[in-house]
Chain A
């Protein structure tokens, strides 16, 4: 039961990983500020590291996420799907000395691969994006010695990851004289860009938060520092893998604004919870795109990013002699989010269960989620559906730290 919320978090944050929107910019964001971040003893939260201080058991968590997105415009539809492991985390409670955690978190991701071949129209194009902006996130949180219901926490975000884009085009020979067409037969050109992610002039960026955990009400406030992302890209035009033009290097810089987040959890009748979370990020500068060239826009216009999420959860009992249904947790929630990309708004909902495995607290979490995104041209509206399966493994060594409440 203690880890149900952690699963909830992962299920929520990994709910978007396959959208066709924003692949040229940063891809989809996985901020996890929809709901549940204020609820203590629920594991690691990227926006609220302070709640880590209330952890009592060593644990490990991993999530596998499968999602389908279907973009529509009029009668046209275009679907894509993807499987990924967006997050891994270890949590180490240290008793009076707070709690530590180490995680790997996929903050932004872009995955897309498609091709069109139509000889009657001379169409031959293959487009592929692969991008992951990962963060290594060591966190530490400590309950205040003179005010035990309040904790402070911080996370250091070390950014890493890589991205690549391939546009492979076949020739349009319609303007060639018949005797000249032979020369371009099978002559495909690949416009390739490969890059990696770093933070400009700094090793990391930081999140700090403060948590209050009362008997029935818990809430937090967090602040994440602004930073500048650097994406160093190598452009190359390839006739084959061994036959390329001299590559050139371009660095795009993305100004990431500060993030403010807050959330509250209200608990009643011992096992029932109502949760609400808000996240705000003020984007000012447009995001330069990977691409450029052709008719692709050079940058992606931005807007104020806002996430509001609310949900209900019925905690499962952690008493081994209870019935299985009573030990199983259930939750449902909904969120609204305006993306960092201009005119992209998202509505979603999720439904999940936390299934206990054994008596030590190991759990299997299964959730489904779905929703709808509205967008303006060039993006299409999207509906999305996903399934997440998460595993929480609880360490069976050492003593659970004493509860100091």
Chain B
């Protein structure tokens, strides 16, 4: 027993010794040659003129479940297309015999958007030049409807590009929207109603709405939202059929006169690839480190190749011209990441690190439609990949720019929705797309600068 007690005491002493202060930890680490930190230094590479600037637009229609836009804004026209399929032989029998058969299509405004932005004060009055076009097909039995449902979205969206064999009708609607939650009722053209009365059992209607000369962009709710659009066919006031589209798409088309101009549009799949000369970047790094770069020797853990932060600085036009909603818009950046295989690239969205002092003073540096003459885009991941994988001087550095979301609180140093010290809710981003247009001519026609924060290796430098 005594022996056990002694042993226990000894163990306790040992454990106590281990928990003691390691007064010599840093001295021991230094003696071994361990670094105590890494040194950060900055390098500004001036005079980077883009090798090329390419604007790309993916014109394939986008399926939208909750929100659709209709109209023309920022030199882009947006059509709405609805796919409707149903069968009801008894109803079609009555509808075909009805003297006063009529049909309408109802849409609801996206109240969440209008309330959040306060954009477009009510009432919305406009003589809207509207074009209806449709493709109607019919069939019989359950198999017909099933075959319609089995058409994949991707196939349907590509078919919309051609929009073959469509019938069309132009009209002008006097639109007057007084309340946001009331439906916009569009009476369907009689030609379409007449075609509907000829149906016997199953029907597939693809209905396209276009308002190329609208004064504004209308935002409507989609088929999966609470207030879905609907097709109503009327036999009498008490005998009618209501059908909800099972899918909806936006068909956007650019109407820019200059197709090669460095102009980006928000809300659509519009992007711009800026290519900067890689050899200029590598040359500057060689000068910075004092030897060839990238260094072919070493074991791959050369800290000189570690980019802590990279910022691409370009000139900008600080005006608000082209901003659809009047808010500043963030420029989203993705970088081309390099892989082992030649021509094997991946696009990586860049993270954004906040500079609180700057944001508080002059707002986020990556905003357009915002005062200031410099646009600062963080491209850390891209430069890291470029520097680490640039095996020779033939590679160039490429970034992809897009217009992102509207920023509602550009001077707030928190980057998430929160409640401020006054107890007010602060929303950082508008969670609806903005259909703005920004011309980057000033940015890409002038030399850019690349500012790097580099980790510098100790000891052997």
Residues of A within 8 A of B (CB): 20, 66, 68, 70-73, 75-81, 114-116, 118, 121-125, 127, 167, 169-173, 175-177, 179-180, 182-185, 187, 189, 191, 193, 235-237, 239, 243, 245-250, 292-297, 353, 366, 368, 377-378, 380, 385, 387
Contact = CB atoms under 8 A, between A and B. Distances in A.
Contact of A68 (B14, B354, B458): B14
A127 to B, nearest CB: 6
A237 B305 CA distance: 9
Contact of A237 (B23, B41, B306, B340): B306
Given A235-B300, A248-B301, A127 B29 contact: yes
B355 A183 contact: yes
B210 to A, nearest CB: 44
A125 B40 contact: no
A184 B309 contact: yes
B310 to A, nearest CB: 9
B31 A378 contact: yes
A380 B31 contact: yes
Given A75-B23, A182-B354, A295-B35, 7 more contacts: A170-B38, A171-B37, A175-B39, A176-B41, A243-B381, A293-B302, A293-B303
Interface of B: 3, 7, 10-11, 14-15, 17-18, 20, 22-29, 31-42, 299-303, 305-306, 308-309, 311, 340, 353-358, 381, 384, 388-389, 453, 455, 457-460
Nearest to B354: A182
Contacts of B11: 66, 387
B348 to A, nearest CB: 10
A70 B42 CA distance: 41
Nearest to B41: A175
Contacts of A177: 42
B308 A183 contact: yes
Contacts of A124: 36-37
Describe B's contact surface by its main secondary structure.
Answer: mixed
B27 A76 contact: yes
Given A127-B29, A235-B301, A76 B24 contact: yes
B354 to A, nearest CB: 8
Contacts of A122: 36-37
A237 B18 CA distance: 31
A-B pairs, top 4 by smallest CB distance, nearest first, are A248-B300, A76-B24, A295-B33, A183-B309
Contacts of A175: 39-41
Given A180-B453, A182-B356, A368-B10, A172 B301 contact: no
Q: Which of A71, A236, A245, A248 has the most CB of B within 10 A?
A: A245
A120 to B, nearest CB: 12
A189 B38 contact: yes
A193 B301 CA distance: 9
A191 B36 contact: no
Contacts of B36: 116, 121-125, 169, 172
A366 B4 CA distance: 11
Contact of B42 (A180, A368, A377, A380): A180
24 contacts: A68-B18, A76-B24, A76-B27, A78-B22, A78-B27, A79-B22, A171-B308, A176-B41, A177-B42, A179-B357, A182-B353, A182-B355, A183-B355, A184-B40, A237-B305, A237-B306, A293-B301, A293-B303, A293-B457, A294-B458, A295-B34, A296-B34, A297-B33, A378-B33
